[in-house]
Structures are given as C-alpha cells and as structure tokens.
Amino acid sequence: MVTEHDVQHIAELADVGINKDELGTFTSQFNAILDYFDTLDTVKGNMAAKSELFNVLREDEVEPSLPQDDVLKNAPFKEDGFIKAPRVM
C-alpha cells in the first residue's frame, strides 16, 4: 500500500512531475497495479536464466565520430560547440 505522499515522492525520485488533481486517481491505480505485482510472491525457485551469450566484445579500434554539427543539431541551446544546460545548483 502506498499513500499519496509516497506517490508524490516517487514522482520526484523519477523526476516526472504529477499535479495535485491527478494524485488521488494515480494513487489508487498505482495501488491496484502493485497489488497485482504481488502475484510474484508465488514464484518458486530462485534461479534466473544463465545468459547463452557471454564475452560479447569488440576490438579496440577507432571509428569515425559524428560531426560536431550532428551532435548539436537537436539541442535547443548551444554555445561555442558546447551544449547548454540549466545550472546545477
């Protein structure tokens, strides 16, 4: 069981934002889904599958990088070849 407060906290942890009018419905739907997740409690055994593939590696060879323009093309803000981001603290 999670409370509206818990759901608010999870939204912050995930940085997705949830507004107050949604909170009530969201929480009850959330709880219904989490209850359903509890069917996992009936799972027997503790072995996950061993991967068939392993040691998937590539040689240490240089390959062409993207031109700087392509790197910056989709960024909304840039300056002198850097990508601009909101300040960190």
Phi and psi dihedrals of 30, rounded to 5?
-55, -50
Give whichever of 2 and 5 is closer to other proteins, judged by the CB atom: 2
Task: Determine which residue in the list 3, 5, 24, 83 makes contact with other proteins, applying CB under 8 A.
Answer: 83
Phi and psi dihedrals of 79, rounded to 5?
-155, 120
Task: Determine which residue in the list 1, 20, 21, 40 makes contact with other proteins, applying CB under 8 A.
Answer: 40
Least distance CB 60 / other proteins (angstroms): 4
The SS3 call for residue 62 is coil
23 binds other proteins (CB under 8 A): no
DSSP 8-state secondary structure symbol assigned to residue 10: H
The SS3 call for residue 38 is helix
Closest CA to 27 of 52, 6, 44: 6
Chain residues in the site for other proteins (CB under 8 A):
2, 7, 10-19, 22, 26, 29-30, 32-34, 36-49, 51, 53-66, 68, 70-77, 79-89
